[in-house]
Copies of this chain bind each other. A is one copy, B any other.
Amino acid sequence: MGGFFGVVSTLKESKADLFYGTDYHSHLGTVRGGMAMLNGKSFQRAIHDISNSQFRTKFDNDYRRFEGTSGVGVISDNDDQPLIIASHLGVYAIVTVGVVTNIQELVKELFEHRPVQFSEMSRSGFNPTELVAMLINSQESFEEGVRYAQSKVQGSCSMLLLTNAGVLYAIRDRYGRTPVVLGQKADAVAVAMESCAFPNLGYKLFRELGPGEMVRCSPDGVETVLPPGDEMAICSFLWVYFGYPASSYEGRNVEMARYRCGGALARRNPVEADSVGGVPDSGVAHALGYAVESGIRYARPFVKYTPTWPRSFMPPDQTERDLIAEMKLIPVPGLIQGKRLIFCDDSIVRGTQLAKQANRLYNDGVKEIHMRIACPPLLYQCRFLNFSRSKSEMDLATRRTISEIEGNDTDVAKYRDPDGEPFKEMVGRIRQRLGLSSLAYQRLDDLVAAIGLPKDKLCTYCWTGEDISKPAGCAHGCSRCERPCAAGSPQA
Contacts and interface: CB of A to CB of B under 8 A. Distances in A.
A366 to B, nearest CB: 14
Nearest to A292: B297
Interface in A69-121: 83-88, 91, 107, 110-121
Given A133-B117, A327-B20, A305 B244 contact: yes
A433 interface: no
**Residue among A110, A299, A326 with max Cβ neighbours from chain B (10 Å):** A299
A331 B256 CA distance: 12
A298 B121 CA distance: 50
B56 A245 contact: no
Given A244-B305, A300-B285, A308-B26, A83 B119 contact: yes
Nearest to A52: B57
A344 to B, nearest CB: 14
A105 to B, nearest CB: 15
Contacts of A229: none
A116 B116 contact: yes
A255 interface: yes
A333 B299 contact: no
Nearest to A280: B306
- For this chain, the copies found in one complex come to 4
A308 B56 contact: yes
Contacts of A138: 114-115
A346 to B, nearest CB: 16
A380 interface: no
Contacts of A299: 255, 259, 288
A253 B88 CA distance: 48
Contacts of A331: 199, 246
A24 interface: yes
A319 interface: no
Q: Which of A54, A135, A196, A332 is the most central at the interface, judged by chain B CB atoms within 10 Å of its CB? A: A332
Interface in A10-39: 20, 23-24, 26-27
Interface in A99-156: 107, 110-122, 124-127, 130, 133-139
A462 interface: no
A255 B300 CA distance: 8
B117 A114 contact: no
Contact of A255 (B23, B136, B332): B332
Given A137-B117, A298-B291, A84 B53 contact: no
B87 A124 contact: no
Contacts of A481: none
27 contacts: A24-B305, A27-B307, A42-B125, A52-B57, A53-B57, A54-B307, A56-B308, A84-B121, A84-B122, A85-B119, A86-B107, A86-B121, A87-B111, A87-B115, A88-B116, A114-B137, A114-B138, A114-B139, A115-B116, A119-B127, A119-B133, A196-B305, A199-B331, A200-B327, A245-B300, A255-B300, A291-B298
Given A115-B116, A115-B139, 12 more contacts: A20-B327, A24-B305, A55-B308, A115-B136, A118-B119, A119-B130, A196-B303, A256-B334, A259-B299, A288-B297, A298-B298, A308-B310
